[in-house]
Every structure is written in structure tokens, then in C-alpha cells.
Structure 1
Amino acid sequence: MDESNSRSHTEEIPEFVGPYKIEGPLGVGGMGRVYSARHKVLNIPVAIKVFFRDVNEKPASAKRFIQEARLAASIEHINLVRVMECGNDQDDHPYYVMEKMSSSILLEMKKNGNYSEREAIDIGESVARGMSVAHHHSIIHRDLKPDNIMVSVDGLYKVGDLGLAKLQDIENTSPGLTMTKTGLGTPHFMSPEQALDAAHADARADIFSLGASLYFMVTGKKPFEDEGVQAIINENYEKGGPDPGGLNSDLSAGFCQLVKKCMAYKPEERYQTMENVHQELIDLRHRFHDSVKPIHFDTCFDLAGTKKEEIERLMEQHAKAASDKPKKEPVNKLYIVIIVALLILLLFLLKYIAL
């Protein structure tokens, strides 16, 4: 049994953590449990991550937990889950408080199925935008995956769970905190270089993980079939970045190419920055929008239950009707001048007669 899952059944749920009343469990991470909670005075809903009791005495784990809170709190962006507070509970166990999310991409897919290309582009834009800011602060996520892409109450997409994140210069600032030869992360969404040497993975590892997440969103499948880190690395080396178009024929060539480039085996063959990925997704969205044929508003009320082929025929019909519609002849400007002159003359005559 997974260690974190066994903890989820054995640890007692506290009634309060600091000034927050616990409402129930939300999930279990590598270093702590996440609860739904509410401030007992202000009545604000939050999520709280509390350090595992049975590993509280491990200095390296404790440092990593505090690092996670500090990293998340060091930047604030609309596409990053915000950390609001950090402290110790009544038993002196560290915890930190986050804004409460409504769901995650993974949970939404379990309920509603795969995302469309258009939806995946929107999500990818949000993730790339948030991670661009994180990378500018020298923060690398290292565990970007559908389960860590959150959906807020108002429908915004935000990157959460910086549990494996690191500062790029962490080897110099916190010796021993990062295990150099350990592939920390989730294998099916992890870049090859991170799997081989997690400490020296740079921002391009997150780009790989974003590509793998986009692949999963539109296909419902993990990008690699093999299990085990080395087998996945070998599959990626032999086949390169997988093509989601092989599982979803509705995807555009541009979107498939973006995913494949994000997941190139060699970091130098990927997009080099999240800004590059973000801009490419924006361009894809514009191309996607331009490819949609216009349709008359009145027709929308009659399309329920209509077959795809018939809808496409109607769209083409309305587009042709709009282009064939005769243009109105412009009003001759000379007529306007004559009419205005006559009105002025009439007013002058009326004034003269009145005198």
C-alpha cells in the first residue's frame, strides 16, 4: 500500500488547526494532508496542508515542507494557487493555508471526460502564464500534472502544489535538501533529464510536463504506455514526443506539433521558455477562432440534436448567403447637399415673410 494512503486512514482528523476549523479531508500529498477548513472568526473558506505527524522529526522533510510554503508564498499571480498563511498547530506541527480550489483538471476529466482542443488551449495558456512568472522567480515546479492544475471557484485555472519545487540555486543555498540522483516527480509526466538527475533539471522540465498534461487532457491517456521510470525514458528516447493526433483525429496539426515539441527527448529541442509556449498557444487560439465559420444567430435555436454534417452544411449556407447578399448603393452626396440648401432657403423665406 502507498505510504501516504496508509497515513490517510491512520491519522486522526483534528478539529482545529490554528484559528481554522477543519471541515473534512481533501487529499494526501507526499509530505502532508490537505483539509477543507474555515476561519473560526472571519468565516473564510480555505485549504490547509498539515505536515505528517510521523515524519515531523525528519529534518530534511521538515525543511522541504517549509520550503514549499515559502516558495508558494513568494509570488502572487492569478494563475498560481495563493498561500495565505504559514504557522504551527497546537502540537507544533507546521501547516500552511491556501486559497480553496473547487476542483482539479484530473477530477474534472473523471466527471466530464476529455477536454476539447479549444479547452486544452485555454488551460495551457493559464498554466504557461503562471509558470512563466514562477520561472522568472527562479522557481521550477518539477511535478506539473493534471492533478496539480486546479480550478478555482470562479473557473480560473491555477497551478498548485509546489511540494517538489526548487529554486534553481538551491544546491548552493540549502545543501542536502535536494536528492541529486533521485527522479522526484510523477514518472508519466516527468522529463527524462529530471528522472535521471532531479537536482539539475531546469525550467524546460516543466515545459515537458505541460506538454504531457496537454496530451492527457485531449486523449485521456498517459503519454507513455510503459511503467517504471527507466522504461518510460527508453520509450521517449526511441519514439520522441508522442503525437496526440494518433488518439484524437479532431486535433489540429498545430496543436499536435506543440505537444510533440514540448515533449522532445532533448531539452534543447523543446520550447526554451514558458513564454514561448504561451505565445504559441495564443497563436493557436487565434487560428482556431479564425477557422470557425460564421452562423446566423437565429439558427442557433434550431440546432439541438442536429447531426454534425447538417450543422456544417448550415454554417456554409449562412456564410455563402452573407457573402452573396447585395450591397446597398451609397447615397449620392450631391442629393444631400441640395436638400440641405433647399431647407436653408425655405427657412430664409419664412423669416422674410414674417417680417
Structure 2
Amino acid sequence: MKDWKKGECDLIPGKTAPHIMVVERDYPATYERFTSIGPLMEKIGNGGKGIAWNTQSEMDLLRKLNYTKAEGPAKGQPMLNTAIDAAEMILTLAPETNGQVAVKAWAALSEFTGRDHTHLALNKEDEKIRFRDIQAQPRKIISSPTWSGLEDEHVSYNAGYTNVHELIPWRTLTGRQQLYQDHQWMRDFGESLLVYRPPIDTRSVKEVIGQKSNGNPEKALNFLTPHQKWGIHSTYSDNLLMLTLGRGGPVVWLSEADAKDLGIADNDWIEVFNSNGALTARAVVSQRVPAGMTMMYHAQERIVNLPGSEITQQRGGIHNSVTRITPKPTHMIGGYAHLAYGFNYYGNRRF
């Protein structure tokens, strides 16, 4: 693999180097643009995962729902002045919440596969979920090609369902499920096939052990942040409905053996800390957690139970407070089908 930085080849955007795109910024107009929907939604449409579709009718609807900017650089564009405006934009443009958009999205995928997939959303083409609909009660979303599962009354949601039953290629180099990754970087790191990698020493504990004691016992444990069972991302878990399924507030799970060593009883307040930061939470002592590890389900809302930390002298802390970005070289492979990345974020859950 030749490297243009070493003079081994020419710099060719998109081939020997990343794509280069010029973006013009009108900084005095930042706020006006931030609080409106830009013109590209009508020029190039909306899309994702390699497909795109026209959104002119949806933009026309948003001009009526949210009204438009009367003047300035965003004149005539739908406004995003409030959180409700932003919610209406998402609900109107997303195929999961707008049946008409879902049909257009499936039609776009059909052009790629050569098969008709629109039947997956045609029966819900006239369904449009609005903000006040989800304010009143949860709503079942519409099947979308953005995801590989099917939202259906007769089939449980399962990843990869449409790939199998609709004969949609997997998003890989071959269009099939791949176990062997034939890429030079993967071969160089010995990761062309599934391999076991033991936990690495993140060097985030040794320098703080015994240095920030509040008088309670300390113990170094592996810290995991899996998806939680009561909510995800922006879905609130601290509402009356969900609080019947869990105790609410930030919690950290640990084993009975480790809890005994530390003198921790179920529901005690604890602090989890390392050189990156600290968090406060209640302990969930469980026989299902193996000794030597502890876990905190990610995205626990900070709206109830937030005491101050004796270690940082600050309020609360979340799972991200004690984790840090750890990029993996093979995750930097770009422009090679499924071995590619976009600048989004490297969260602690990725590794």
C-alpha cells in the first residue's frame, strides 16, 4: 500500500487519500443557520447507508408546521426555534416515522438491489407520526431500509431479517456475511479472523489508588458500560412507566464477592473513580456479576439521585466520566466497503 505522504504516489482524493470537500462558513450567520433547515435537504435530498431520496414535499410540510425565517441568510427556510420544531423536523423527515418517506426510501433501495421492497411500508404510507402523537403515547415505528430488522405485527424485530428474507446484500465488500477480513491492515494486526485479545492495561488506576481515599475500602475492577435494559440514548428511563422496572437513578452493578470485600450492601451509595474522573451511584449487588468486574449501563439519565462526589468535589458524574477515547488502528480503515469510518464519535462502548 503506497503512501502519498512519503512521496510514494500522488495525492488523489478518494483513492490514495480521503475525499476532500470544501465547506464555506458564514460565521456571523451561524445562529440563523443553526435555527433553520438548510437548503441542501431540497437540493440533494435525505438519505443514509448509501441511498438517498427526494424530500421536497416534506420540506413544504415543515414550512407550514414550523413557519419560515422572515429574513436573513436562512430566509424562507423552515424554522427550528424550539425543541418541538426540531422534533417535528426529525419525525417528518425520518422514514421510521413518516410512511411516505419510508416508501421513498425503500424505492431508493430497490433501485440498488433490482427488487421491489416498497411492500414493506406501503400499508403505512399514509401514516405520519407527529410530536403530539408521541407526547400522548408511544407509537410503533415504520420499517426502514436504514435498519435491517422489520417492524411488523407478525415478526419479532431481528437484525439481518431483511437481508435474509428480502435478499438485500449485507453492507460488506462481498454483499455476504464475512468472517475473513482480507485487508492489509487487518492482516498486519493479525485480525483477519476473530481473535481473543486480553484486556489491556489502560494505566488509569495505579496513580490514584490510595491517593483520594474518603476512608472507605478501595478495589480495582474492570468497568464495563453495556446498553441498558430500561432505555437507550435519548429515551428517558426515569419516567413512571420505566421506574416500575428498575430502581431509577444511576446504578453500578458488582458481584457479591467484591461487594463483601468492600463492605458494600445492595443500594449503598458508592463512588467509581480512576485517573479520568469519578461518578456516584447506588450499588446493585448481584450473583449474576462475576468477581473482578463491575458494570454501569450507559446513558442513565442524570435527573434523579445526584449527590456530590467526595473525590472530585463536583456533582454526580456518569459512565463517561471514568472512560476515555481509545482509538483502535483497524477502526481507521477508510473507503473499503464495510471497513470504513465517518467522523462521528468514538464512544466508550465501541471497544
- TM-score, length of structure 1 as denominator length: 0.25
- TM-score, length of structure 2 as denominator length: 0.25
Q: Could you say which structure has the higher helix fraction? A: 1
Q: Could you say which structure has the higher strand fraction? A: 1
